[in-house]
Structure 1
Amino acid sequence: MIDRTKVWAGTLNEVALGGRAKRSVGFYDTTLRDGEQAVGAAFDPAQKLEIAKLVDGLGVGRIEAGFPRVSEEDREAIRAITQAGLKAEIWGFSRALVDDVEAVVDLGLRFCVIEAPISDPKLAALGVTREQVLGRIEKAVAFAVRNDVRVAFFGVDSTRADLGFFERVYRAALDVGAAEIAIVDTLGIATPEAVTFLIGRTREWVGDGVPIHFHGHNDFGLATASAIAAVYAGASWIHGTVDGIGERGGNANLPEIALALELLYGVETGLRLDRARKASERLREIGRYQLEPWKPVTGENLFVRETGAVAAQFHIPEAIEPYAASLLDTPRGIVLGKKSGAASITLKCEELGLPARPEKVATLLAAVKSLALEKRGLVTDEEFAAIVHRHG
């Protein structure tokens, strides 16, 4: 539960959202499957188990353990994850092919996403007709259901599908036993308004009894906004990954979506924001990738200040930050550089236990700025300590 006294977003959102029904939503993590599609990412079974445990610790409701038909390594990872006693439901992934589903059944998985392309560009690229893909979907879903697997049908590129065929495909999957459906913005092309339209329209004809998932990508930087739109249009589950890791522009970023939903919309997600930064740090070590230092939730500079004017307000966090650093279990800090001011010097001296005589602050600031310009970078704590001792 978020401590609302540590959220300093003002009242505008409450006014604008007044009258909207309170929502809750579940998170479906696909870091191990869709996230691994990021260029250069390759997780071994031990790493996949570790990542699954990290994700489970974040409090997501469902974890997609992988695609069994990919390799024996993937099957080994799935076996380990299903035996790890995690709290989340463990889901498999399959194409709409009976052989794929058999691999899921053989591993004892009780939940599975079954995917098939449903847009004309995707069908043309694969040389498959609409009728052929419909037949595959019906056979694969029916086979899974006969083997006591709960199915969520996943229409690849569904945001570019012909609307009539979109409805026909999803109805066909439901008719043969799919219990849930996933609407998929494979190339991240849907605006939040389009997501609202498509999920809202689908909710009208499936009714309230069928959970709708939304799976979004971030090619246009809209994944978080689209996920929020999906929640308010009636989606029960939001797919995504830690850090938004994935191919091209990445997947929807679950911690980022949780931050916005929890702090700005008051929507409960169950995600442990206080664990998100550590999970991200470890995933980056395993996946060997970096993030922008200004990235929401996980950016290293979120609560670090260099600018002197802002440092002068550092003692009043709500004046310079939208929420408390403690919500993410991370410290605040001052760094010194070209943009520092007198308050920066005083605060850094206090932090390091160094003498900060008022008459010396201007001299120390000038020395800091000079070194920062010379370095074209920040002044380290060690360098600043030397400056203080030098200027006595």
Structure 2
Amino acid sequence: MSRDVFLNDTTLRDGEQAPGVAFTTAEKLELAESLAAAGVPEIEIGTPIMGTEEIETIRAAVARRLPVRLMAWCRMKARDLDAAIESGVEAVNLSLPASDIQLAAKLGLDQAGALQLIEDMVKRAVAAGFFVAVGCEDASRADGDHLARVIETAARAGASRVRLADTVGILDPFSTFELVAQLVAKSEIDLEFHAHNDLGLAGANTLAAIRAGARHASVTVLGLGERAGNAALEEVAAAMAVIDGADTGIELTALPDLAAQVAWAARRQTAASKPVVGADVFTHESGTHVAGLLKDSHAYQGLDPTLVGRCQRIVIGKHSGATAIARVLSESGRDLDPDLAAAMVARVRRKAAETKSVVTASQLVELHDGMCSEARLANLAGPGQLVDERADTTVVRSGRMR
């Protein structure tokens, strides 16, 4: 695969660990197909040890023969590996705590015991014909020398990749870069970074890890995942393309529909301000911004919406100016009279403040046509008549609005 960076999607495993999320078999299969169609090279499809239903779902995905690598997530245990064998996948992520605190609390192991377990289980998985990745849970709180020994042991036993997980989301981009760079310098195999978003830094940390030499990044659509979630596929893919010009192989125009599909299956609302796929991220209301955008579409947009299958949208609201109002009115076949512009802006602002929402095109036309009718009536009333627009301080005197 001629990619600069591999984005390995775990929406169907880690994403499903988000509270209340439970994909049906049909939803998992449809999502796997959509992920493959979007160019995702590897899908962490599930956790076979969960039981018969999970294994059957994974087997159904394998039967689709999608052009992706399907990977099962396993604990570093023989029975987990046996369940993966039963599921029919070609790859496994054998996960084990890397930090002393988790090794002791979860498994009662020390570092030496962990290394021996890794060697034994990786050899067993390789002998079974699997592509093997070793997952270092809580790597961000692990001893650096131990992590280096884990990578060395995994490589010697036949693993093809090691995943460094910021399981509790405590890293920042600077510490991420330092950690990954040090390990890349010593590693004979590829490293992958798996971020969590507890401090809102999962995407930034993922980019830092890639800059430091990690060739793989674990992501989920919409950043779906436990607690605050994971690094978002759509954000990392778009950032890699725009900032670094890197080839991830992801079809960026497929991302909005993919995000909508995941949101529906997860029964989650997508925030309007969600980067890349949110309803409002290419929407402009501010008068100064719109005036600039109408002259040059790049004036207030760093991400070209067409790159991700979106388009720019102008809406009318409290911060809109006459230029934007005139533009939207023209799309409805109306020309804004310059003499009415100031009054129209004032009425729009009042309407937006009252409703705490944008003013729709039909509402804007209604406001405009009403104002034009008032102006005509004022003209008929003749000189000396006064019509007071109290809220927007516009008056009609001597038959002329100003």
Q: TM-score, normalised by structure 1?
A: 0.89
CA distance in structure 1 between the partners assigned to 2:282 and 2:300 by the alignment: 9
Pairs within 5 Å for 1:320-359: 320-359=300-339
Q: Report if aligned partners of 1:56, 1:86 keep a CA contact under 8 Å in 2.
A: yes
Q: Counterpart in 2 of 1:60?
A: 40
Partner of 2:186: 205
Contact (CA 8 Å) 1:32, 1:48: kept in 2 or not?
A: yes
* Post-superposition offset of 1:206: 2.4
Aligned to 1:300: 279
1:127 Cα shift?
Answer: 4.4
Deviations 1:275-331 (A, max 9, x none): 111111121111122233222211211211111111222322111111322112112
Give 3-state SS (helix, strand or coil) of 2:49's partner.
coil
Counterpart AA for 1:202? L
CA distance in 1, matches of 2:100, 2:116: 16
Q: Residue type matched to 2:153 in 1?
A: A
Change (3 A) 1:343 1:201: same
Kindly indicate whether the alpha-carbon contact (under 8 Å) linking 1:98 and 1:139 is maintained by their aligned counterparts in 2. no
1:167 aligns with 2:148: yes
Residues 146-161 of structure 1 correspond to what in structure 2 (within 5 A)? 146-161=127-142
Deviation at 1:53, TM superposition (A): 1.6
Q: Structure 1 vs Structure 2: percent identity of aligned residues?
A: 34
Tell me the equivalent position of 1:7: none
2:182 paired with 1:232: no
CA 1:354–1:32 in structure 2 vs 1: closer, same or farther (change >3 Å)? same
The question of 1:318 aligning with 2:307 is answered no
The one-letter code matched in structure 1 to 2:256 is: R
Instruction: Give the AA of the match of 1:189.
Output: I
CA distance in 1, matches of 2:182, 2:355: 57
Which of 226, 229, 243 aligns to 2:222? It is 243
Contact conserved, 1:97 with 1:137, CA < 8 A, in 2? no
Return the offset for 1:152. 0.4
- CA RMSD across the alignment: 1.8
Using the TM superposition, name which of 60-69 and 346-355 deviates more: 346-355
- 1:44 equivalent to 2:21? Answer no
Residue in 2 that maps onto 1:264: 243
Aligned residue pairs, count: 368
Partners of 1:77 and 1:55 lie apart in 2 by 16
Deviation at 1:242, TM superposition (A): 0.8
The C-alpha deviation readout for 1:117-170, integer Å capped at 9, x for no partner, is: 121121232142124434433332222111101100011111211223222333
- Structure 1 alignment gaps of length 5 or more: 1-22
CA contact (8 A) 2:286 2:319 kept: yes
Does structure 1 retain, via aligned residues, the 8 Å contact 2:285–2:315?
yes
3-state secondary structure, aligned to 1:296: coil
Deviations 1:348-384 (A, max 9, x none): 1122333433333333222211211221222222322
Please say which of residues 99-108 and 367-376 is displaced more in the overlay: 367-376
Do residues 214 (structure 1) and 193 (structure 2) align?
A: yes
Q: Distance in 2 between matches of 1:200 and 1:307?
A: 42
AA matched with 1:274: T
Structure 1 position 373 matched with structure 2 position 353: yes
**The one of 49, 63, 68 aligned to 1:88:** 68
| Secondary structure of the corresponding residue to residue 248 of structure 1 | coil
The CA distance in 2 between the partners of 1:69 and 1:350, in whole Å, is: 61
Amino acid in structure 1 at the alignment position of 2:79: D
Contact 2:74 2:93 in 1 (8 A): yes
Q: Could you tell me which amino acid in structure 2 is paired with residue 213 of structure 1?
A: E
Change (3 A) 1:270 1:345: same
- 1:369–1:212 Cα change, 3 Å: same
- C-alpha distance in structure 2 between counterparts of 1:214 and 1:55, whole Å: 19
Judged with a 3 Å threshold, the aligned counterparts in structure 2 of structure 1 residues 323 and 118 are, in CA distance, closer, same or farther, namely: closer
Unaligned runs of 5+ in 2: 373-402
Say whether the 8 Å CA contact 1:192–1:229 is kept in structure 2: yes
CA distance in 2, matches of 1:321, 1:248: 31
If asked which structure has higher relative contact order (CA below 8 Å, sep 6+), I would say 1
8 Å CA contact 2:58–2:88 kept in 1: the answer is no
Query: Which amino acid in 1 is paired with 2:4?
Result: S
Verify the 8 A CA contact 1:28 1:62 in the aligned structure 2: yes
Query: Contact (CA 8 Å) 1:44, 1:73: kept in 2 or not?
Result: no
- Does 2:136 match 1:144? no
2:69–2:90 CA contact under 8 A, matched in 1: no
TM-score (norm 2): 0.87
1:331 counterpart SS class: coil
Change (3 A) 1:44 1:304: same
